[in-house]
């Protein structure tokens, strides 16, 4: 399996590095789903913090079946951590953002990029509650005015209008699916008439500097026999209270 998206573990590394740049002795609180998704974020923090992990990080986990994570947020606030990382799917991410705001806790906050959707996370949480939160981007946001005349975004909108007319264009999963399909198309074309498992795998693991119309400029798909992660670059973004605004350079997550 190869997912055409920035890995969660690598994303966590970026948040840890950013926080430590702002405060070298920063402590971390993390809300993590109790599965491989959440554990990837813990692994990313360990990659950066090393031996400091046990003393610098407080973890509050939750099960996907729980109705609310309010008690976990209250527990994390009591640690006085400098940075909060929300490694939660949309429903729980919205709850975490709202609860943090309600109890007047204002740490440096990072949000997993799987939960940055305006319609299903930021609006339910309250736009004011999410103001200032940091996340990462690797795909173009079709709602960002900067892409109003971008050929790639125009092509994506035409595709959506034709094939998914009822789709919520604020849902970045449609952008991810579009990118995934384009990478698969590239692999199949490269395989030519030899559609054997061996050749498809060979082509999938030899992608070189593939640019996709809905990836951010400067981010390219690369794979090899020893590197099965197609996208390993991201750009930071911050929620303004209305939309996500990118800042800084495109960075490697390795």
- Work out the end-to-end distance of the chain between its first and last CA atoms, rounded to an integer number of angstroms: 19
In this structure, are residues 17 and 51 in contact, taking their beta carbons and an 8 Å threshold?
no
Q: How many residues belong to the chain?
A: 254
Domain limits, the chain: 8-138+231-252, 145-204
- Other CB atoms within 10 A of residue 13 CB: 21
Residue 121 to residue 117: CA distance in whole angstroms = 6
Question: How high is the pLDDT of residue 85?
Answer: 98
Of 100, 25, 17, give the one whose Cα is nearest residue 56: 25
pLDDT value at residue 55: 97
Q: HSE of 61 in the Cβ direction (CA atoms, 13 Å)? A: 11
> How many angstroms separate the Cα of 75 from the Cα of each of 31, 58, 107?
10, 9, 14
Note the pLDDT of residue 32: 97
The pLDDT value given to residue 144: 86
Distance between alpha carbon 56 and the CA centroid of its chain, in Å? 23
Fold observed for domain 8-138+231-252:
Rossmann fold (3.40.50)
Q: What angle do CA 198, 203, 207 make, to 5 degrees?
A: 155
> In angstroms, rounded to a whole number, what is the distance separating the alpha carbons of residues 194 and 100?
54
pLDDT of residue 5: 80
pLDDT at 171: 80
Beta bridge partners of 251: 234
Per-residue pLDDT at 4: 83
pLDDT in tens, the chain (254 residues): 788 888 899 999 999 999 999 999 999 999 999 999 999 999 999 999 999 999 999 999 999 999 999 999 999 999 999 999 999 999 999 999 999 999 999 999 999 999 998 888 999 999 999 999 999 999 998 888 899 999 999 999 999 999 999 998 878 889 989 999 999 999 999 999 999 999 999 999 999 999 999 999 999 999 999 999 899 899 999 999 999 999 999 998 88
The pLDDT score that the predictor gives to residue 2 is 81
- DSSP E strands in the chain: the ranges are 28-33, 57-62, 83-87, 108-111, 134-137, 233-239, 244-252
For the entire predicted model, the pTM comes to: 0.89
Here the tokens at position 157 are 């909108």
């Amino acid at each position: 399996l190869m997912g055409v998206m920035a890995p969660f573990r690598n994303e966590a590394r970026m948040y840890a590095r950013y926080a430590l740049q702002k405060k070298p002795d920063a402590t971390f609180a993390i809300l993590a789903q109790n599965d491989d998704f959440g554990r990837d974020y813990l692994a990313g923090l360990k990659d950066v913090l090393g031996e400091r992990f046990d003393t610098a990080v407080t973890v509050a986990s939750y099960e996907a079946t729980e109705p609310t994570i309010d008690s976990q947020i209250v527990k994390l606030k009591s640690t006085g951590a400098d940075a909060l990382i929300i490694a939660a799917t949309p429903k729980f991410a919205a709850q975490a953002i709202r609860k943090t705001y309600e109890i007047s806790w204002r740490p440096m906050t990072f949000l997993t990029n799987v939960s940055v959707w305006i319609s299903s996370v930021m609006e339910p949480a309250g736009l004011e509650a999410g103001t200032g939160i940091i996340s990462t981007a690797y795909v173009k946001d079709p709602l960002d005015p900067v892409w109003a005349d971008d050929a790639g975004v125009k092509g994506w909108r035409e595709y959506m209008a034709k094939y998914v007319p009822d789709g919520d264009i604020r849902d970045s999963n449609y952008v991810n699916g579009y990118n995934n399909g384009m990478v698969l198309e590239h692999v199949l074309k490269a395989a030519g008439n030899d559609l054997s498992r061996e050749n498809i795998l060979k082509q999938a693991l030899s992608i070189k500097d593939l640019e996709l119309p809905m990836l951010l400029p400067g981010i390219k798909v690369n794979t090899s026999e020893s590197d099965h992660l197609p996208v390993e670059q991201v750009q930071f973004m911050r929620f303004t209270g209305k939309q996500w605004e990118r800042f800084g350079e495109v960075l490697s997550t390795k």
